[in-house]
Amino acid sequence: MAGFRVAVAGATGLVGRTILQILEERAFPVAELVPLASPRSAGKKLSFGGEALQVSTLSGDSFDRCDLAFFSAGASVSREYSPIAARHCVYVIDNSSAFRMDPDVPLVVPEVNAHELNGYRGIVANPNCSTAQMVVALQPLHEAFGLQSVVVSTYQSVSGTGEKGIRALDHEVDTGSRSTESPYQHPIAFNALPQVGDFDTDGWAEEEKKMIDETRKIMNLPDLHVVPTTVRVPVRVGHSESVYLRFHREVDAAQARRTLSGAPGIVVFDEPATAKYPTALQCDGRDEVFVGRVRADPADNHALALWIVADNLRKGAATNAVQIAEAVTGTLARRERQEHYA
């Protein structure tokens, strides 16, 4: 059969199901798909390629004869099973935070640093959702104007917390009371929580530290000044970001819009007179990163404010992962694959 044997660990989750959908949409050459999850889901059926595939329990034996494995089952599962998968598969694309800051593991957003995949094989890390969409917009502006600093506030949807986030929001909206299983510290319906992940002793949230570290690694700017405030809002899908950027060179809004319009993976949606700007609902189900509200700072001709929105399950996770798979498998000759299994 032509194509790859592809395992998806966490196939029943929000990201895993979106990976299956995107593999189909983009006609990725899948010869056989192996859906994996926890024992809770064993025997469950997932639809792929017109067939109902039975979900198996993830184990050390799950990856025999696989070419490629996607992981979206949380960091502890990735830490345990990704290295096992990497011994069987040519490529492992990991959506969790387990390996993102490992200096030997490339952390890739193809629009920014696909070159790091050249000749590489093994575990590739997929970034955190709020970082992935932001760097797609930052990279072309950096190339044009030289990025100096980033101040960002996020408005992150509950699907960023997985199924349990959506369930908590739905429960609170439907019943008017808090769910005992809510992953949040406060009510999420009709609220905004300036906490995404646990705080460290200095008061920085886990998501804020990820945005700092991962932006620097992906853009290869180890000293970039990044100041995030990450906020969970009662939106089902789609992360929005209010971003203030300072550059080494002068910049104006028209130049910035032109730069962004010509850049890969970006849609500029910016006509203030007709209230045309990206919103989470408009971006739900889309693979691109949307940018609007581009404004020059009247007090600083080296600075810009803008608004960035993307579907966190797609560009923030599954689409980016499948783009990485396309990049790596496109460079993998059949002969090399045969050698891998020899």
Ligand X SMILES: NC(=O)c1ccc[n+]([C@@H]2O[C@H](COP(=O)([O-])OP(=O)(O)OC[C@H]3O[C@@H](n4cnc5c(N)ncnc54)[C@H](OP(=O)(O)O)[C@@H]3O)[C@@H](O)[C@H]2O)c1
**Which residue numbers are catalytic?**
129, 239
Distance CA 73, CA 341 (A): 27
Distance CA 210, CA 98 (A): 12
- Identify the sign of the CA torsion 22, 266, 228, 181: negative
The residue type at 102: D
Give yes or no for residue 313 binding ligand X (CB under 6 A).
Answer: yes
Binding status of residue 35 toward ligand X by CB under 6 A = no
CA distance 41 to 53: 12
CB of 93: closest distance to ligand X in angstroms? 11
Regarding 322 and contact with ligand X (CB under 6 A), the answer is: no
Residue nearest to ligand X (CB): 13
Q: Which residues have a Cβ under 8 Å from the Cβ of 36 and sit 6 or more positions away?
A: 7, 8, 9, 10, 11, 55, 56, 57, 58, 62, 73
Based on the shown chain and the rule CB under 6 A, indicate whether residue 168 belongs to the binding site for ligand X: no
Judged by CB under 6 A, the residue of 6, 20, 73, 124 near ligand X is: 73
> Which among 212, 245, 48, 63 is positioned nearest to 137, based on CA atoms?
245
- Provide, rounded to whole angstroms, the least separation between the CB of residue 125 and ligand X: 10
Taking each helix axis as running N to C, give the angle between helix 206-218 and helix 129-145, from 0 to 180 degrees, rounded to the nearest 10. 40
* Side chain identity at residue 133, one-letter code: Q
C-beta closer to ligand X: residue 95 or 230? 95
Provide CB contacts within 8 A for 85, sequence distance 6+.
Answer: 7, 9, 62, 63, 66, 69, 71, 92
Distance in Å, CB of 72 to ligand X, minimum: 4
Note whether 37 binds ligand X by CB under 6 A: yes
Applying the rule CB under 6 A, the residues between 127 and 146 that interact with ligand X are 129
The one among 24, 26, 32, 74 contacting ligand X by CB under 6 A: 74
User: CB of 17: closest distance to ligand X in angstroms?
Assistant: 8
38 part of the interface to ligand X, by CB under 6 A: yes
Span from 70-78, 112-120, 201-209, 228-236 in contact with ligand X (CB under 6 A): 70-78
Least gap, CB of 98 to ligand X (angstroms): 8
- Identity of the residue, 235 or 268, whose beta carbon is nearer to ligand X in the bound complex: 235
Query: Interface with ligand X by CB under 6 A: which residues?
Result: 10-16, 37-38, 40-41, 58, 72-75, 77, 95-96, 129, 159-160, 162-163, 312-313, 316-317
